[in-house]
Amino acid sequence: NLPTIEPFFCKTDGPKPKLAVYVGKGADLKLHPEECIYITRDFPSSRRGVATLLQQVSTLYTYDDFTAIELEALLCGCEVKRMEK
């Protein structure tokens, strides 16, 4: 199997006023800013929705140390910060 990332995970020219957090398989240590939007398995409800959100996010904070969302965020132009204690 070859992992693939859909082509809609890409940079756009729009503003990036949002912050997001992805806990995934990690533990939410609450080390990220309060205003972060949580990305979960259920939100956004589609892969395209995740890409659209990431295109509006300046920084993605993650507690999962092995996840494809880091690469997807980078492709959308986000800074990625892995939160560890």
Specify the 3-state DSSP secondary structure of 47: helix
Q: Of 45, 54, 39, 44, whose CA–CA distance to 9 is shortest?
A: 54
Residue 10, φ and ψ in degrees, nearest 5: -155, 160
Over the chain (85 residues), what is each successive 10-residue block's mean pLDDT? 85 95 97 98 97 98 96 97 92
Token pair of 18 as six digits = 């949002």
Residue 1: per-residue pLDDT: 65
Residue 69: per-residue pLDDT: 97
Residue 2: per-residue pLDDT: 65
